Structure 1
């Protein structure tokens, strides 16, 4: 990549109504890069609408970066000469996700997200891994030198698939869950010490773990050790939870009062660095016993009918912008994808959390396992930063998921239904079921995926 030249971004899933618009706005606000964005999606109509939307955003009076958006008919056309590839796809449909999340409720299993672990996360992986294997092969053939940013869940298994198919790929996964914990620590400083932190990036954290099950064992602000302060903060708010504004957690299904995070700190002495909705699904600690228990812990079960309503609202919003009825809002998304691209293109350097193969940055984890740690990003380089080792009790919890995710991956790649059932039964949310109930739930859920698995014996 040559500093100052026009760049090309291939967006796989270019009909996206969420991540794509955020990227378009963030690109528009950055004057140091410009170029073209090729939008590829299996829904060509959605990609064409995003072509119009992206070009409107680029033409906005407040836009500093100038980009040309083009919907393309094939993934090969999107990838040709790409400097960056962004993958943000919905693997399947929201109807599929509705089955992922809500069918297990008949067996007493409640899921707060259902896209990473648990029965829903496993079945989503079964759909997603073959899709990512195909995308990885296309990248290998048409854009082998591009940097690849993945936003799709289950993130660890998506990135794992990219490296399995194309070991030389330059790929990583981006997730904003750690950002929320940095903001919580900033809010803690205001609450406990009256210190106003201007930007969450001023909170420096050491990140260890896997996506959505990440941990922080060191945190500081301008040389101030935050762990002792967090211990006092947790002691004060562990029962009622902490809300920067009253009833934050009630007004948005994506918010919580951090009670799960606080409980985990009291158990293990580390800061759990994902949101409560994700953390609860990795553990058999009773946070998801039933909807009433979830309410007491002050987080939410994110129903898929709500996601469908959100999708429809975004569609209407896009239509209104394209028709001129509404104005597009140009404000930063808070994501770091564009800043990472800037650093990779040679515009400075940065440290941020990413998901990439373990090269020894987490001690005691298998080489090549997809882990989430900090990395130093600079011109055409992403170097993981040594994070150290998790305490034994937390290490065992995380390693259980590392092993089970690998078992899911191998089962899907081999199209082995029996191996997949074993991994399914070992998940903490499923392990409480009898073998017969677990097998029955598995059979129903896998049967619903028959259209995605034509070569499987289902």
Structure 2
């Protein structure tokens, strides 16, 4: 088979390499062309050198091109994969820093909450530019695979306004299933069958079967509480399991910021999180991790390049959905996964226009969702809170309506638990002004926002958060890696 795959944001070097090697694990895809595009020529050069090394080491006819000209990369592409971070780590730092001044302590800030909503405002105009290019220069019927957060907002905009065949992809379901299989003592993750449904980052394991035997709430709670590691790292997640009766896909840190109950006061934050790793609830944890990862990669690039010369091992193909979807569409080998699509009746008790994440099957006829699912009422209620915020956020990003943007932030569960309306209005003004270069739809609103900020009497505080860690140096990372290697 010979067709073209374009990867937008290919400068996300580690993730791009994973997608690339996964796809090349499919024997029929040896002759595929990969077109890489990114704003950073530096990052493009690094990832192209790595992928060229993979091709050479494995004796493949695969072609890899790289360009900062996005339309050129998209010309004739059958599949377009996006893993962009609009504004980079600079804008992301503001997503964490500015809300902290108003008492809003986020672990990740990339889905909803103040940071995730502003992230969506930066992304959506760019997503619509991608869709315009796809409609105009990509292959007829091209499929857009979005990996970028905020997943639901980006996918919502691409489908409703970009008018492109789009599916959103995430790995939260797979990771949650691996945890469940481990605590239940499964010898392999393949022994666990499940139905997981909801919205991205708030997906719920509503049916669990281990070797065909249904697993109930009490058995699952006991298994997690008995686990020596997860019982400490996932305290909040286990508490939600006890109260809701079902387990959430998302990590302790992610889940904590989508709900109004666990991060509303500093003492509550420290009670429910675990500091053994960023993903369990650390203030700004993902920002720190992303910064360290970037610095580590820049410094250790020769080692990454050397590692690329190893043969591709199909046994190490990851559970990221992209390669499996492409394989099913092109070869008719059926794949079952969990996909982010427009609801349209898939989940009965969520709105039709929402972007849901739920099980589906892929074959030559496309992605076919399993319809008629009803979520437990508490799960549906929690999802509804986020969906309403997502809808307003998407519509604000499209219209450039700063008042609607403020209402979206005001209705966010965690923001509403922490901040007053006056604080939200000022915080949004401050975030829009700070990120103006990435928010063209709000250009008309920036002068008035600046004027309001100059006269505002709302008090703020300089606060690092309830559980902040400093970014580690390269030397510290090397020492930690060496210690782990020695211990292992």
TM-score, normalisation: structure 1: 0.88
Root-mean-square deviation (CA, aligned residues, Å) is 2.3
Do structure 1's residue 154 and structure 2's residue 137 form an aligned pair?
no
Distance across 2 between alignment mates of 1:142 and 1:89: 20
For the residue of structure 2 that corresponds to 1:9, the secondary structure is strand
Partner of 1:208: 197
**What is the count of residue pairs matched by the alignment?**
431
Q: Check the 8 A contact 1:280/1:288 in 2, yes or no.
A: no
1:50 deviates by 1.6
| Alpha-carbon displacement from aligned partner over 1:124-155 (angstroms, at most 9, x marks no partner) | 01101111011111111112411211100000
Q: 1:447 to 1:166 in 2, by over 3 A?
A: closer
1:270 and 2:246 matched? yes
What displacement does 1:355 show?
A: 0.3
* CA deviation after TM superposition for structure 1 residue 87, in Å: 0.6
**In the alignment, which of 101, 117, 120 is matched to residue 115 of structure 2?**
120
Provide the rounded CA distance (Å) in 1 between the counterparts of 2:396 and 2:120: 11
Q: Is the 8 A contact 2:53 2:309 kept in 1?
A: no
Q: Is residue 207–residue 387 contact of structure 1 (8 Å, CA) maintained in 2?
A: no
Whole-Å Cα distance in 2 between the matches of residues 148 and 259 of structure 1?
37
Q: Is the 8 A contact 2:261 2:414 kept in 1?
A: no
Q: Which residue of 1 aligns with 2:431?
A: 445
CA 1:303–1:391 in structure 2 vs 1: closer, same or farther (change >3 Å)?
Answer: closer
Equivalents in 2 of 1:378, 1:442: separation in Å? 44
Q: How many Å separate the matches in 2 of 1:423 and 1:30?
A: 43
Structure 1 contact 162–171 (Cα < 8 Å) conserved: yes
Task: Determine helix, strand or coil for the equivalent of 1:430.
Answer: helix
Q: Separation in 1 of the partners of 2:91 and 2:195? A: 36
Q: Give the superposition deviation at 1:224.
A: 1.1
| Counterpart residue number, 1:281 | 257
Question: Are positions 1:217 and 2:217 aligned together?
Answer: no
Q: Does 1:43 find its partner at 2:40?
A: yes
* Residue correspondence of structure 1 range 54-69 to structure 2 within 5 A: 54-61=51-58, 66-69=61-64
Residue of structure 2 in register with 1:253 after alignment: none
Matches within 5 A, 1:185-334: 185-190=180-185, 195-197=186-188, 200-226=189-215, 228=216, 230-235=217-222, 237-238=224-225, 242-243=227-228, 257-287=233-263, 289-290=265-266, 293-294=269-270, 296-298=272-274, 299-301=280-282, 302=285, 304-322=287-305, 324=306, 330=312, 331-334=316-319
Question: Which residue in the other structure is 2:169 paired with?
Answer: 174
Distance 1:140 1:151 in 2: 19
Greater shift after overlay, 207-216 or 295-304? 295-304
| Rounded Cα–Cα distance in structure 2 between residues aligned with 1:292 and 1:218 | 31
Write the deviation string for residues 259-312 of structure 1: whole angstroms up to 9, x where unpaired.
222111111112212222211111011246327734643223215233211111
- Mapped to 2, the partners of 1:33 and 1:325 lie a distance apart of 22
- Secondary structure of the 1:124 match is helix
| Aligned positions of 1:9-158 closer than 5 A | 9-34=5-30, 35-61=32-58, 66-143=61-138, 144-158=140-154
Instruction: Work out whether 1:8 is the aligned partner of 2:16.
Output: no
Change (3 A) 1:31 1:410: same
Deviations 1:146-181 (A, max 9, x none): 1211100000011111112333x2210110011111
Distance 1:235 1:201, change over 3 A: closer
Question: SS state of the match for residue 261, structure 2?
Answer: coil
Rate the CA distance shift 1:236–1:174 in 2: closer, same or farther, 3 A: closer
Q: Measure the CA separation in 1 of the matches of 2:364 and 2:156.
A: 24
For structure 1, the residue ranges without an aligned partner over 5 or more in a row are 250-255
Unaligned runs of 5+ in 2: 275-279, 447-488
TM (norm. structure 2) is 0.83
Contact 1:358 1:371 in 2 (8 A): yes
Q: Residue 57 of structure 2 contacts residue 311 of structure 2 at CA under 8 Å; is this kept in 1? A: no
Question: Which residue number in structure 1 is paired with residue 468 of structure 2?
Answer: none
Matched, 1:402 2:387: yes
Change (3 A) 1:242 1:102: farther
Report the Cα distance in structure 2 between the residues aligned to 1:267 and 1:421, rounded to whole angstroms. 31
